[in-house]
Amino acid sequence: MRKCFDKSICGPGQQRDYREDKRMADLTAEIGGVKFKNPIVVGSASPTMDYVGMREGIEGGAGAVIGKSLFGDSGKLGRKYPRPRFRLFDYKDYPGYPDKLPHAFTLNSLEECSRFGYEEYMADINKAKQEVGERGTIIASLSGATMDEWDTMCHMVNETQADFVELNISCPFAADMGVTMGAGDVDRAPTIAKACSKILSKPFSVKISPQTSDPVEIALAVEKAGACAVNLSARLSGFVIDIETAAPYGWGSIGGYGGPYLIGYGLKFVSQAARKLSIPIISGLGVWEWQDIIRYIMAGATLVQSGVGIMLQGYGVSKKWAEAMSNWMDQKGYESLDDIRGIALPNIITTDFVERDPEGVHAAIDTNKCNKCGVCKRSCFYDAIKVTRTGAIINANKCDGCGMCVEVCPQDAAYMVKTRG
Ligand SMILES: Cc1cc2nc3c(=O)[nH]c(=O)nc-3n(C[C@H](O)[C@H](O)[C@H](O)COP(=O)(O)O)c2cc1C
Ligand code: SF4
Ligand code: SF4
């Protein structure tokens, strides 16, 4: 059958070609007058160590890249890295690896800042912009320890071709090398943002560490200080002790500590901040798959960055994520990110509104599925499960309805029922 591409003139016997009708969801975003072709950002980390990496990040499908952070001269020890500097826990031993990757693992690392000094860093940002042109947004990341350093870096970055600037006050371990900066200086973020806003001629975000008593309050103060956006995606710090050597694995000190399991921690801050802030939020702790990007946008984010996700799945994963998001949005009828931004917020309640002690909720077992393994019994702390020859049985009078047996049952034989109320 002949194809008809102009629906107004499709004649008899012609099949209408719907390609022209297929509208792709609009993934664009905007912050401070800067346009982003999609909300995916390659976070400041090894993949953005120089202009080559930044170019690869954009070619891999991301809307923006954040260069690895420039530390001021007082933190220049961070320009030298331990070797090796990465430690992955619970990663390679995942069944099916490397075709299948785990969702819960830890990347522990000690890689503080860019290896570049001030001039080299600015020159590299310029090269990145020249290579990428209008195909993507280049974000320079600055991290000072003194007001003089912030002052110098802001003046210098003004002279570059960076589209956007990030003030990084989040490094989880910089303060451990004896310099007051990053997570060790996060309470001063509003003061720093105010001082830098007077110098910067470009739009800027402030990346805030969650390692402080109230990151959302700091985000609010940073907004008042003139930031165009806040970035709430910093990792925690920590180490794991090798019991054979009684020392931390790897380089012997704390390092960045995180992985996809931190997404819940990130979503909490983003949703809390989204309720209070008027400026856009850059989010992204623990992004591992495209659904995580949607999750952050539903919690109120405008851009979503990935560090570990890109490091372990490669630059090209951004393209896959963008396509998957776009397809999903098309299927759901969402036309743009505005349609989903913040839509989860009304469904997120505070703990005082949670329904407690609802009547008649207890577990039940599908004996056709149950293989009598007893896994549920060992995790039932209400003594409500008996494993018999025919399968597990629930004593509804003892069952508290906690739901643990459903979560642990390997056969999906346990399920919850509500018999009253
Ligand atoms: C190896 C490594 C190096 C990093 N370097 C920087 C940095 O120089 N500047 C910065 O702001 N964040 C840095 N980060 C933090 C990431 O930008 C990101 O905020 C963090 O990894 C959380 O996101 P993720 O869970 O997607 O990795 C680094 C992270 C990793 C893993
Ligand atoms: S864990 Fe599941 S399969 Fe195992 S005994 Fe309990 S209900 Fe049966
Ligand atoms: S819901 Fe909780 S209390 Fe009830 S049987 Fe399962 S584990 Fe036990």
Instruction: Say how many C-beta atoms besides its own lie within 10 A of residue 100's C-beta.
Output: 9
Q: Looking at residue 23, what is its pLDDT?
A: 63
Say if residues 39 and 26 touch (Cβ distance below 8 Å).
no
58, 206: one domain: yes
Name the residue with tokens 């020159």.
123
Closest CA to 227 of 267, 155, 278: 278
**Average of per-residue pLDDT across 181-190:** 91
Q: Report the separation in Å between the CA atom of 311 and the middle of ligand 1, taken as the mean of its atom positions.
A: 10
Name the residue with tokens 């202009």.
51
pLDDT band (50, 70, 90) for residue 221: very high
Torsion of CA 92, 98, 100, 102, to 10 degrees: 20
For residue 376, what is the domain's CATH number?
3.30.70.20
311, 364: one domain: no
Residue 393: both structure tokens together: 């049985």
149, 255: one domain: yes
193 belongs to a structural domain: yes
**Average of per-residue pLDDT across 301-329:** 98
- Pocket test residue of 40, 44, 283 for ligand 1, highest count of atoms within 8 A of CB: 44
Q: How many domains does the chain have?
A: 2
Q: Report the separation in Å between the CA atom of 43 and the middle of ligand 1, taken as the mean of its atom positions.
A: 6
Out of 290, 323, 347, a domain closes at 347
pLDDT band (50, 70, 90) for residue 173: confident
Out of 291, 312, 347, a domain closes at 347
Q: Report the separation in Å between the CA atom of 344 and the middle of ligand 3, taken as the mean of its atom positions.
A: 29
Name the active-site residue from 171, 376, 380, 399.
171
The answer for residues whose C-beta is within 8 angstroms of residue 145's C-beta and 6 or more apart is 71, 72, 74, 75, 174, 179, 180, 181, 185
pLDDT digit string (tens) for 320-333? 999 999 999 999 99
Residue 250: both structure tokens together: 């790897």
Looking at the predicted structure, is the pLDDT value of residue 9 above 50?
no
pLDDT band (50, 70, 90) for residue 175: confident
124, 202: one domain: yes
DSSP character string of 102-119: -SS-EEEE---S-S--HH
322, 359: one domain: no
312, 388: one domain: no
Measured at the CA of 55, the angle between CA 54 and CA 58, to 5 degrees, comes to: 90
Distance CA 282, CA 301 (A): 6
Nearest ligand to the C-alpha atom of residue 408: 2
360 belongs to a structural domain: yes
pLDDT digit string (tens) for 346-368? 999 999 999 999 999 999 999 99
Distance CA 170, CA 210 (A): 8
258 belongs to a structural domain: yes
Q: Looking at residue 6, what is its pLDDT?
A: 42
380 is catalytic: no
Looking at the predicted structure, is the pLDDT value of residue 54 above 90?
yes
261, 391: one domain: no
313 belongs to a structural domain: yes
85, 108: one domain: yes
371, 255: one domain: no
239 belongs to a structural domain: yes
Measured CA distances, 166 to 65, 70, 268, 331 (Å):
11, 10, 22, 35
For residue 43, what is the domain's CATH number?
3.20.20.70
119, 194: one domain: yes
204, 305: one domain: yes
The range of the structural domain enclosing residue 380 comes to 355-418
Torsion sign (Cα): 96, 97, 101, 107 = positive
Going across the sheet that includes 236-238, the strands are: 86-89, 106-109, 255-258, 236-238
Q: How many residues does the chain have?
A: 421
Q: What is the average pLDDT value for the chain, to the nearest integer?
A: 94
Taking the CA of residue 375 as reference, the ligand 2 atom at the shortest distance is 1
Report H helices in 242-370: 263-276, 290-298, 308-313, 317-332
pTM for this structure? 0.94
Helical (H) or strand (E) element with 417: strand 414-418
400, 295: one domain: no
**Average of per-residue pLDDT across 107-118:** 97
255 belongs to a structural domain: yes
Looking at the predicted structure, is the pLDDT value of residue 380 above 80?
yes
